[in-house]
Structure 1
Amino acid sequence: DPGDYLIGEKIDINGDGTPLRYLDKPSKDGASKDSWYSGIGGVDVHYSSGPANHFFYLLSEGSGAKVIDGVSYDSPTADGLPVTGIGRAKALQIWYRALTTKWTSTTNYSGARTGTLAAAGELYGTTSAEYAAVQDAWAGVGVGTRPGGDTGTSYESTTPVAIPDNGPAITSDITVAGRSGNAPSNLRVAVNITHTWRGDLVIDLVGPSGTSYRLKNFSSSDSGDDVDETYTVNASAEPANGTWKLKVQDQAAQDKGTLNSWKVTFP
């Protein structure tokens, strides 16, 4: 079986000759996810791993339709922008270095992005095309943003809110007005929190309809400090205009912190 981006096509587990997994577009198997979204933590791990598979394909080969060694692929991106691949050899070096020196058993998708960027920086430099390609490929699966920053229209709250230790949830409001229709499927939510033992925190975005979107789950093993992350939320069921809320709760004793700022960005 020559090397390709299909998995399990020879064992014919589906009974029709189709692969078990597709790295260029994981959702082609009927269950895997192409991109990260706020509810992916509730998906079976065999399918929630789809964005990582998709990332590696994009980093290696890039997006769009193409034929590689006789196999046809057509890889989409979450933000609708193209990704240019750097080749499988370089992609695997970045992945392996991150896997063996950066990641732990509790690494999430945001941490995976951070780890691969660190690996790419060490291997090729932070101003290299390879480093930029890692950013692009992760943005292509809904994790983080591309080089050049947060494009789009942002609405921000910079009013600090204290987060009590093992106490009730705090909320911070942002009012969005003057937009038409619903929010996008790739709404970006940037959160900056100062807090020791960030695993204590549970963070939710609450849309104008009152629907909550989980951004960060509780993790007793995450002893790191602070939250400075950008999350991508499929908020397409929400009206764009209205009051958006960030809800943060500390669910364990001995640590407290402050929500410093947060913003929503409509691409």
Structure 2
Amino acid sequence: MPAAAQDDSQARIRKLEAEVRALQRKVFPGGDGRYFEPEISGQPAARPSVSTTTSTTAVTDILARLDALETQLQRLTAQYEVGGNAMRLLEERIEALEAANAPAPSPAATTSTPAGTASTATTRPAATSTPTPTPTPAAAQPSAERVAAVQAIAKPQTDDAADDEYSYGFRLWDAGFFPEAQQQLTLFVERYPSHWRATYGRNLLGRAYLDDGKPNDAAPWFLRNYQADKNAPRAGDSLLYLAEAMIALDDTKRACIALAEFGETYPALAAGRLQSQYERNLGRVTCS
């Protein structure tokens, strides 16, 4: 029985010594004896041979070593918890200071000036500060005749489901069902943002709002489409329609910015496919 008790004590010592060394490495990284002197030193006593007479002194030494190891483990654990809590509080203070000192984003910094823009154009306000859509009251229930007319517009059924969604939105817009087209095109652009038709969908969604007499809701979609990819097939169209939305909102300053940016960024469109629309919009405002 004394021999078995001593074996258990030796196992406890080895386990506690391993835990102390692991905790020392966590609390004092790189601990190599330079940080503190170990409280347990000296070679462990040789394991006595099994006999019926166990030395009382050896058992006492083992118990003392166990007590010392347990005390040291408790002290190191407390130091680690205190240090971890201090580090957490310091990190929270740093984050709070960074948040308090962070500069507010400038509205003019959200859009870069296109390459080749004249030097006088670099100081003008960016065309990004457009009105945000405002909540509108729920529309009245459509009449039975309108529901029947909308249902009469067939939805394409092809192998390209995304293109079918866009085409159906286009058909609704082309038939003058602007609220229904807005709902359908919103579904398309949110569900298929990476489809090749996405630039057409965002532009047409803006037009559906603009044609519905809602320039305040149309402008963000035109701007979003222009900024998403300025080389996309309908990016130039959206910039020109953005100018129209600003004109409808009596915002001459932003309308002139959009028109100037259109003429500088898309000279081929300004002299080609969109020439008449571009010149008509120029005639509706007086730009300095």
Could you tell me the TM-score, scaled by structure 1's length? Answer: 0.24
Larger Rg belongs to? 2
Could you tell me the TM-score, scaled by structure 2's length? Answer: 0.23
Which structure features the higher share of strand residues?
Answer: 1
Question: Does 1 or 2 have the higher relative contact order (CA < 8 Å, sep 6+)?
Answer: 1
